[in-house]
């Protein structure tokens, strides 16, 4: 016999339906917020395309980005991988992005402005692809925690709209492409593990192809490839309990594919330049030393765990903040690791590979390498892991603190984070807030030096793009200058015996004529003609 529900039961059922409806509407509203932020961040990447050549030249391109674009343009106009008007062969780039960026120069006949327009468009498209690769990887980690598809989209949106990451993906370098390929490699690794015994030779070879392409995107992907290989082997032996030699045989084929894809680049480097490491890597490592960048690591990792909170430069190495940042990042990562491990599934092993890759990157760039000013860019492929960890931990905390409103609370925090991202992006548009830092040199040269005159610069990227006859002096794209630095610890003798008539760079280069620096021959050949400290500009001329 059917019973009529009491008024109290009916009220509870009605309340449950109302709450469910509210949460469903909240998810729809939050997804609309995500879409809106993605649109704004996409348009932000494209705004220089419609503001004219000056905005296009200065909005996103970095000094090293222009080094890569100079080589890309020279390839397109038939000068090969070279700088200095095609007279100096160079391998001081990452190959895949350089080849991709050469396409607009090839189509435009080497036009610098049109080519730059194409590079910006390509970079935006690559970043857009990153939305989906980052979302797919985040889904591997978050699906066991929540069936809602909204949280992987939140991770991808935070990655796409983060002020620092937005600049890194549009900098004229390989950074955005590399993150896309790292995310894709780990996602494919997850799918291969998920297939288990059903995985085919084709599946394994395809992962090898993607890992090989990732290596061409940036050579430190060797850390990622090693991590995937080791975890793959450990999973087969310990979890699937398979015999060692059959497993090893399965790993050989994808490893060979990776080697075949990487081999042409490595052989070219060794045969033409004497080392498999590009000259840029060797030059940057000269500024290193044991733990040279270790004090910067907490701030850089903090910025990726909380991408809406970039750390001011003056705060990065203060001991109190370093301790605070280390505690925050450690708590997030440890909590996330424990959560993923307890949930089980293939996410455990993908996380293990990602953490191993992250540890190798942190150790290498934090303790062995130099160029601390590029540490944020070097570590940017770790951002998807750190953002995913933060979202996962936030969901868990919200579930404990406000269990009946956990989703709504996370929507609110996610919305606030995205609003902060957009506010910081808007701040970058204010005149004087963000300056490329090298166009004062370009403008002086364009106004005072004929195009056929040879100019030297330590920071030759921006100048070398806009003035073809520019010779690099820090060795990042000039093997001869690098050899001079390694041999003598000083590039000035190289300058004296070169065809350089002018040196133009930041104002510190004026000190090169000081006899106290130990090179009287240089001061006998060059004199300072401009030393403008407020403009951060110095120009030296051969006597």
pLDDT (tens digit per residue) in 280-321: 999 888 887 888 999 999 999 999 999 999 999 999 999 999
pLDDT at residue 465 greater than cutoff 60: yes
pLDDT (tens digit per residue) in 154-193: 999 999 999 999 999 999 999 999 999 999 999 999 999 9
Query: Smallest Cα–Cα separation from 474: which of 95, 61, 63?
Result: 63
Residues with Cβ within 8 Å of 392's Cβ and at least 6 positions away in sequence, in order, are: 141, 142, 145, 151, 336, 339, 340
Q: How many CB atoms lie within 10 A of CB 427?
A: 11
Taking the C-alpha atoms of residue 28 and residue 387, their distance in angstroms, rounded to an integer, is 22
Q: How far is CA 210 from CA 19, 49, 213, 215, 502, in A?
A: 45, 31, 5, 9, 45
Least confident window among 4-8, 52-56, 173-177: 4-8
Taking the C-alpha atoms of residue 239 and residue 243, their distance in angstroms, rounded to an integer, is 11
Are β-strands 470-472 and 455-457 bridged in parallel, bridged antiparallel, or unpaired?
parallel
pLDDT above 90 covers a percentage of the chain that reads 83
pLDDT at residue 20 greater than cutoff 70: no
pLDDT above 70 covers a percentage of the chain that reads 94
CB 81 within 8 A of CB 68: no
Taking the C-alpha atoms of residue 169 and residue 380, their distance in angstroms, rounded to an integer, is 9
Query: Smallest Cα–Cα separation from 278: which of 75, 476, 80?
Result: 476
CB 76 within 8 A of CB 110: yes
Average pLDDT over residues 517-541: 89
Higher pLDDT, 281 or 10: 281
pLDDT, position 403: 83
pLDDT at residue 133 greater than cutoff 80: yes
pLDDT, position 70: 98
Residues with Cβ within 8 Å of 446's Cβ and at least 6 positions away in sequence, in order, are: 466, 467
Taking the C-alpha atoms of residue 44 and residue 56, their distance in angstroms, rounded to an integer, is 12
Q: Is 497 helix (H, G, I), strand (E, B) or coil?
A: coil
Taking the C-alpha atoms of residue 102 and residue 481, their distance in angstroms, rounded to an integer, is 25
pLDDT at residue 22 greater than cutoff 90: no
Per the structure block, which two tokens stand in for 104? 């607009």
Per the structure block, which two tokens stand in for 398? 């919200």
pLDDT, position 514: 80
Residues with Cβ within 8 Å of 388's Cβ and at least 6 positions away in sequence, in order, are: 137, 138, 141, 142, 155, 336
What's the chain's average pLDDT?
Answer: 92
pLDDT at residue 210 greater than cutoff 70: yes
pLDDT at residue 16 greater than cutoff 70: no
pLDDT at residue 269 greater than cutoff 80: yes
DSSP 301-331: HHHHHSTT-PPPGGGTT-HHHHHHHHHHHHH
Q: Give the CA diameter of the chain.
A: 110
Higher pLDDT, 309 or 24: 309
Per the structure block, which two tokens stand in for 102? 């050469």
- Alpha carbon distance, N-terminus to C-terminus of the chain: 109
pLDDT, position 518: 58
CB 209 within 8 A of CB 192: no
Taking the C-alpha atoms of residue 56 and residue 382, their distance in angstroms, rounded to an integer, is 29
542 forms beta bridges with 526
Taking the domains of the chain in order of start, what are their residue ranges? 45-50+91-428, 439-542
Angle between helices 201-217 and 175-195 (to 10 degrees): 160
Query: Which H helix or E strand runs over 457?
Result: strand 455-457
Handedness of CA 35, 36, 37, 38 (dihedral sign): positive
pLDDT at residue 386 greater than cutoff 70: yes
CB 474 within 8 A of CB 287: no
Average pLDDT over residues 430-438: 84
């Amino acid at each position: 016999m059917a019973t009529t529900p009491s008024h109290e039961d009916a009220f509870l059922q009605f309340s449950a339906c109302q709450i469910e409806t509210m949460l469903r509407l909240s998810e729809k509203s939050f997804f609309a917020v995500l879409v809106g932020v993605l649109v704004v961040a996409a348009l932000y990447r494209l705004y220089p395309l419609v503001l004219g050549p000056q905005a296009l030249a200065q909005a996103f391109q970095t000094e090293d980005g222009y080094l890569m674009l100079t080589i890309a343009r020279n390839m397109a106009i038939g000068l090969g991988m070279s700088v200095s008007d095609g007279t100096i062969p160079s391998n001081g780039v990452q190959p895949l992005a350089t080849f991709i960026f050469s396409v607009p120069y090839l189509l435009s006949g080497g036009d610098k402005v049109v080519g730059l327009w194409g590079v910006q468009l390509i970079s935006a498209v690559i970043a857009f692809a990153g939305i989906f690769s980052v979302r797919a990887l985040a889904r591997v980690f978050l699906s066991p925690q929540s069936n809602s598809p909204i949280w992987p989209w939140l991770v991808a949106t935070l990655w796409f709209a983060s002020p620092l990451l937005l600049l890194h993906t549009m900098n004229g370098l390989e950074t955005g492409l590399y993150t896309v390929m790292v995310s894709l490699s780990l996602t494919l690794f997850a799918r291969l593990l998920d297939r288990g015994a059903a995985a085919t030779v084709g599946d394994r070879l395809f992962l090898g192809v993607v890992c090989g392409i990732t290596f061409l995107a940036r050579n430190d992907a060797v850390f990622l490839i090693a991590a995937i290989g080791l975890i793959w082997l450990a999973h087969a032996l310990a979890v699937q309990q398979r015999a060692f030699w059959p497993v090893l045989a399965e790993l050989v084929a994808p490893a060979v594919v990776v080697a075949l894809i990487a081999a042409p680049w490595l052989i070219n480097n060794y045969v033409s330049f004497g080392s498999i490491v590009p000259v840029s890597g060797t030059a940057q490592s000269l500024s290193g030393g044991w733990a040279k960048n270790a004090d910067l690591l907490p701030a850089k990792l903090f910025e990726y765990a909380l991408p809406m909170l970039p750390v001011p430069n003056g705060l990065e190495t203060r001991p109190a903040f370093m301790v605070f940042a280390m505690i925050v990042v450690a708590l997030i990562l440890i909590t996330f690791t424990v959560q993923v491990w307890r949930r089980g599934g293939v996410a455990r092993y993908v996380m293990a590979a990602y953490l191993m890759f992250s540890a190798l990157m942190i150790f290498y760039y934090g303790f062995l390498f130099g160029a601390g000013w590029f540490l944020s860019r070097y570590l940017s492929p770790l951002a998807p892991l750190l953002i995913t960890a933060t979202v996962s931990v936030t969901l868990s905390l919200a579930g404990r603190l406000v269990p009946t409103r956990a989703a709504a609370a996370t929507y609110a925090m996610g919305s606030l984070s995205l609003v902060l991202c957009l506010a910081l992006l808007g701040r970058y548009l204010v005149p004087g807030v963000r300056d490329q830092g090298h166009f004062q040199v370009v403008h002086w040269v364009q106004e005072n030096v004929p195009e056929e005159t040879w100019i030297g610069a330590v920071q030759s990227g921006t100048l070398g793009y806009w003035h073809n006859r520019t010779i690099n002096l820090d060795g990042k794209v000039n093997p001869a200058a690098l050899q001079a630095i390694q041999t003598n610890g000083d590039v000035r003798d190289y300058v004296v015996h070169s065809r350089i008539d002018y040196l133009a760079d930041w104002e510190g280069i004026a000190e090169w004529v000081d006899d106290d620096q130990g090179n009287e021959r240089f001061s006998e050949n060059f004199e300072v003609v401009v030393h403008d400290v407020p403009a951060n500009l110095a120009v030296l001329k051969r006597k």
